[in-house]
Amino acid sequence: MLRPPLPTCRDVSLSLPNLITLARILLVPVMVWAIASDQMTVAFILFLVAGISDGVDGFLAKRFGMATEVGAYLDPLADKVLIVSIYVSLGVVEAIPDGS
């Protein structure tokens, strides 16, 4: 008797790599706050966490077949939002005199 095929992770939008990517997107406002508050060490650590999480979610998606169509859009979007937000935040912080 033939069984119907089991659903794969390609059918599931909330896979672990996608959740990691969403967490990376949620880090963006925290990182912008850290930069605006002159907490550069915190911002740098968050940037490292974001970079490591990008590698981890890509590894999980490819190695364990957890790639989804949603993830294919979310991952590059998260990268661009992160980088643009950092550039803009640093540019604004540099443009505003600190009063000294």
- Model confidence at 98, pLDDT cuts 50, 70, 90, reads confident
CA distance 100 to 84: 28
Q: What is the mean pLDDT of the chain?
A: 89
Quote the pLDDT of residue 12: 53
Q: What is the pLDDT of residues 40-86, one digit of tens each?
A: 999 999 999 999 999 999 999 999 999 999 999 999 999 999 999 99
**pTM for the structure as a whole:** 0.82
Structure letter (DSSP) for residue 96: S
By three-state DSSP, how is residue 24 classified? helix
> Residue 87 is inside which H or E element, if any?
helix 69-95
